[in-house]
Amino acid sequence: MRKLLLHPAAKPLVFVLCLLPLAWLVYATAADRLGANPAEALVRATGDWTLRALCLVLAVTPLRVMTSTPQLARYRRMLGLFVFFYGVLHLLSYAWFDMGFEVADIVRDILKRPFILVGSLALLLLMLLAATSFNRAIKALGAKRWQTLHRSIYGVAGLAVLHFFWMRAGKNDFGEVAIYALILAALLGWRLWNRWRKHKPAHGPAARVPASTRTH
């Protein structure tokens, strides 16, 4: 598996796989297979794929650590950019099919409906993360500040679930929301547990004896 992840064709293959949902949506639109309300279907589908991509990118580090597969890290940036890509498609679908690209109406709608405002905030954070995801940005910001900035992906996850929750609240349909919330909570919970484990103070006699007095 590690050799396969390092194969020159692996990254292009993952890139193509990440584009398959878009390819399906384009085909379904052309073939009139999106149901009675294709506009709503496109808005929801792009939102769903944004959440799925977010779950996938947040799963990279736990999988890398638990399976001792550091090669997975080379896919994290690309997967993160696909989260932003599908988020932009979600916004464009709403702005085009729901609002007809009427900027004034879009602004009023964002300010009037909390779930759209929350989703817009999540996308703004994703835009900031996408713009600083390249090596030049890491050098400009410094590794520590860059890492602190990119931890805001946890905030994106929270805002995304809240956006989905409020959107479904009108129809009292929380089944899918609960699934995504549990997945993201498990992934973020693993990170908190892993950080606590790394910084957990040592216990036992050896931890209480000063290093200079221990025998070797």
The mean pLDDT value for 162-179 works out to 87
Residue 85: inside a domain, yes or no?
Answer: yes
Mean pLDDT (whole number) for 9-33: 96
Whether 210 shows a pLDDT value over 60: the answer reads no
Domain annotation covers residue 8 = yes
Q: Could you give the number of structural domains in the chain? A: 1
Assess if residue 33 is contained within a domain: yes
- pLDDT of 146 > 80? The answer is yes
The answer as to whether 47 is a domain residue is yes
How does the average pLDDT of the chain come out, rounded?
A: 90
Decide if pLDDT at 216 tops 50. Answer: no
The range of the structural domain enclosing residue 144 comes to 2-190
Q: How confident is the model at residue 169 (pLDDT cuts 50, 70, 90)?
A: confident
Interior angle at CA 114, CA 112 and CA 118, nearest 5:
125
d(CA 171, CA 166) in angstroms, rounded, equals 10
* Residue 131 token pair: 């713009």
Whether 156 is covered by a domain: the verdict is yes
- State how far the Cα of 184 lies from the Cα of 178, in Å rounded to an integer: 10
The 3-state secondary structure of the chain, one letter per residue: CHHHHHCCCHHHHHHHHHHHHHHHHHHHHHCCCCCCCHHHHHHHHHHHHHHHHHHHHHHHHHHHHHCCCHHHHHHHHHHHHHHHHHHHHHHHHHHHHHCCCCHHHHHHHHHHCHHHHHHHHHHHHHHHHHHCCCHHHHHHHCHHHHHHHHCCHHHHHHHHHHHHHHHHHCCCCCHHHHHHHHHHHHHHHHHHHHHHHHHCCCCCHHHHCCHHHCCC
**Percent of the residues in the chain that have a pLDDT greater than 70, as a whole number:** 93
Residue 36, in any domain of the structure: yes
Q: Go through 108-122 and write b for each residue having 16 or more CB atoms within 10 A of its CB, e for each that does not.
A: ebbeeeebbbbbbbb
Q: Report residue 213's pLDDT band, with 50, 70 and 90 as the boundaries.
A: very low
Q: Quick check: pTM over 0.75? A: yes
With respect to residue 202, please indicate whether it lies within any of the assigned structural domains.
Answer: no
The single residue listed with the structure tokens 């384009």 is 26
Give the rounded percent of residues in the chain with a pLDDT score beyond 90: 77
- Sign of the alpha-carbon dihedral angle for 21, 27, 30, 31: negative
Residue 214 has pLDDT above 70, yes or no: no
Establish if 88 belongs to a structural domain.
yes
